[in-house]
Structure 1
Amino acid sequence: MSPRPGALDGIRVLDFSRVFAGPDSTQILGDFGADVIKVEEPTRGDDARYFGATQDELAAFGGISPSFLAFNRNKLSLALDLGCEAGRSVARRIAANVDVVLNNFRPGAMAKWGLGYDDLKALNPRLVYATFYAYGAEGPLADFGANDLALQAHSGLMSITGDADRPPVRCGTAAIDLHASLGLVSAISLALFHRERTGVGQEVDTSLLLSSAHLMNYFYADYWISGNTHGRMGTANHLSVPNQAFPASDGMVIIIAPNDEMWLRCARALDAAALDRPEFLHSSARLSRRHEVVAALSAVTSRLSCAEIVARLGAVKVNVAKVNDIGEAADHPQLAAVGGVVSYERHGKRIKAVGSPFRMAATPGSVRRPAPEIGEHTDEVLAQFGLSEAEIADYRQGGAFGRIAGAPREPS
């Protein structure tokens, strides 16, 4: 843990988001000092609490899935039932006194609850109001629900992922979600910087659609300019050769040599006699002779171990990497060396997690709190915002923090 203050010390965030993209954004803000209040439905909480874990695994992890632990450190959990006016009233009282409100509900949901930007701006003109959408707030698909996989399909990402002779496959991680989370962190940071200059907040948003389009940037540009619609190429890439996975004697390695100088270094480091050939000298020629280049290079690499290939090519500054499994990648010392691994205690257990995706020398990130239980900090948060014990009791009786046994449910 760093003793130095974070870049966002004093910034308060009210987080209504769930699952991956929103919680990742607010975790990054929290890592750098923001006080993040995670609003959760009182009974079940964020669905990510249970993602991908069996009952036995949940018990082993203290009732919370690794997915939830991955995205919810440095947060206080406030249990609020937004389905009742008491819960919405508490949310408005807090929103009037924070710097950032973030949500990933469908378009119109927050406004229906009296928690839209116009509602909260009237209470708090300095507010930065951030929203994650699936397809955006306008347009023919605005009301459609979607997740990372749906946008992998819609964006065309799946059409270029997989082998040419097999059906499309998903990217194995939630790439669009996590890319979008960084986009919203950037937008929030820019809005806070603008507020420092002007004293006025603003509404910012992103969507899984915009995130996916940014990931597909040069594919769309190529199509709009030249009409090309590239298909699946396995691990290969249409931009250069070699630029894909190659067999080793004990696994697979990625080799990328996009320019002629790097190709020569690659050829001479591995087997000059087999690879340093005139017909392979120029990048345009290698593209035209893709199958010949790949076959010749594969014949060389298949005789060598992954370690030997990485050592030879790394020594001459050719882009190279062993195709690791998850354990090899997570435990590689390089990740820890750049601050990519953090750890903290939760219920007496040591939790390891991925650190923030960037570093700041003067105001580094830190882990200050473990991932919370549902509503663990409800009374603590309310007291911070000036609610008295009597007021808290009244809100509790009104169902703000979950239904009291036998109490009638408020009509929606």
Structure 2
Amino acid sequence: MTAVLEGIRVVDFSRIFAGPDSTQILGDLGADVVKVEDPDGGDDCRYLGATKAELERIGAPSPSFRSFNRNKRSIALDLSTEAGRKAARRLALGADVVVNNFRPGTMERWGLGYEHLGTDNPRLVYCDFHAYGPVGPLAQVGANDLALQAHSGLMSITGEEGGPPARAGSAIVDLHASLAIVSGVLAALFHRERTGRGQRVDTSLLLSSAHLMSYFYQDYWLSGNQHRRMGTANHLSVPNQAFPTHDGYVVIIAPSDEMWRRLVDALSPQVLGVPEFATASERLRLRKEVVEAISSVTRTMGKHDIHALLSAAKVNVSVVHDIGEATQHPQLEAVGGIFRDQDSGARYVGTPFRLHETPGRMTRSYPALGEHTDEILAQAGYSMAEIAELRKAGGAA
């Protein structure tokens, strides 16, 4: 069937993680995504996190860039030049969606803000993505995923009890924000289907980090509770954390009394079946004792044996995998979580949801910097002579 976003043109001015991940998802759903990059090196993510030796071994660009830039075409435009900005405006006026993550005011200074484009293209869905949002005392402060983990309080609850704050191992604020961008853009496109009018969408790392922390904020607003670092544990229930085994770790979660009874029966009625542990409230109060009792049992067993035992008993359980184990587990591919490049066979993490009638798919790999400049400009109505003149003026590479 026709891809759900076929016929939708996205012009993507974003860089690094959140913006590019969001436009990649739109591309997975069939949108034609044009990635606008600076001719001088392009998106910094092309080299992020990889040494020169690693790039020589695996080939450029970096794994990070490959992760967030499939299903796109790249055009190299120098937005510091009048010619480059003029070409970018022409592309944007022919688009259905524009996404950018420059600091507030930057696109406006270039004549590429919503007020500059929306009048001439009233069907345009225009998404501004910033660190702290477009207004307020921190609007002009630059930040990244880690900064918002710190600002939001997420770092204050991450790490071992009594230890220093720690970051979440993945860029969770960035990747949560990418889905916020996708949600906002799709909602605005749905509104356009009803009304014929586009609109401006804005979101930020701040809004995404606050959403991740929402139940902690609510607890504070209601009761003044400020939760602290608990390692892998969770303040909501016990057990709800990682436990040691003789060959690694397993996570065990049994929040309800019914699931606790199944856990006791499956793991060790002799050790765990004490009356004091019978209710959720008492397990919270006796957290240390419950954790020590479960650990005394799990230390004597293998992680996969525990997983088989508890999953059969319908107790929430997971082996703590390393990255290699996680990527090789057959479950991810079973649910469509892996895309494969048809030419190279290279694997990529797929779209994080499935439409069963019109599924997301990979139709092209990541682009080289400026790989499609001529093609995109020609589609925008430039003649070959005009493209040559644009290059001569320094607007494109």
TM-score by length of 2: 0.99
The residue type paired with residue 314 of structure 2 is K
The runs of 5 or more residues in structure 1 that have no matched partner are: 403-412
Aligned: 1:203 with 2:200: yes
Aligned: 1:366 with 2:361: yes
Q: How many residues were matched structurally? A: 397
1:13 to 10, 21, 31: 10
Partners of 1:53 and 1:65 within 8 A in 2: yes
Match of 2:95 in 1: 98
Aligned: 1:384 with 2:359: no
SS at match of 1:206: strand
Separation (CA, whole Å) in 1 of partners of 2:367 and 2:185: 24
Match of 2:347 in 1: 352
Aligned: 1:59 with 2:56: yes
Match of 2:21 in 1: 24
* Aligned positions of 1:29-44 closer than 5 A: 29-44=26-41
Separation (CA, whole Å) in 1 of partners of 2:256 and 2:223: 23
Separation (CA, whole Å) in 2 of partners of 1:392 and 1:258: 63
Separation (CA, whole Å) in 2 of partners of 1:359 and 1:343: 16
User: Offset of 1:345 from its aligned partner?
Assistant: 5.2
User: Offset of 1:112 from its aligned partner?
Assistant: 0.1
The residue type paired with residue 338 of structure 2 is V
Residue by residue over 1:95-146, the C-alpha shift from the partner in whole angstroms, topping out at 9 and shown as x without a partner, is: 1111000000000000000000000112210000001110011111111000
The residue type paired with residue 208 of structure 1 is L
Match of 2:165 in 1: 168
Separation (CA, whole Å) in 2 of partners of 1:373 and 1:60: 17
* Aligned positions of 1:176-187 closer than 5 A: 176-187=173-184
Separation (CA, whole Å) in 1 of partners of 2:342 and 2:357: 25
Cα RMSD (Å):
0.9
User: Offset of 1:352 from its aligned partner?
Assistant: 1.1
Residue by residue over 1:334-366, the C-alpha shift from the partner in whole angstroms, topping out at 9 and shown as x without a partner, is: 0010011111156xx432110010000110111
The residue type paired with residue 256 of structure 2 is N
SS at match of 2:21: helix
Partners of 1:155 and 1:212 within 8 A in 2: yes
User: Offset of 1:83 from its aligned partner?
Assistant: 0.2
Separation (CA, whole Å) in 1 of partners of 2:280 and 2:60: 54
* Aligned positions of 1:122-161 closer than 5 A: 122-161=119-158
SS at match of 2:75: strand
Partners of 1:345 and 1:370 within 8 A in 2: no
Separation (CA, whole Å) in 2 of partners of 1:98 and 1:59: 37
The residue type paired with residue 182 of structure 1 is L
The residue type paired with residue 337 of structure 2 is G
Separation (CA, whole Å) in 1 of partners of 2:124 and 2:270: 65
Aligned: 1:310 with 2:307: yes
Match of 1:405 in 2: none
Residue by residue over 1:307-353, the C-alpha shift from the partner in whole angstroms, topping out at 9 and shown as x without a partner, is: 1100011001111001100000111100010011111156xx43211
TM-score by length of 1: 0.95
Aligned: 1:271 with 2:259: no
Separation (CA, whole Å) in 1 of partners of 2:345 and 2:79: 34
1:330 to 327, 330, 337: 327
Partners of 1:243 and 1:256 within 8 A in 2: yes
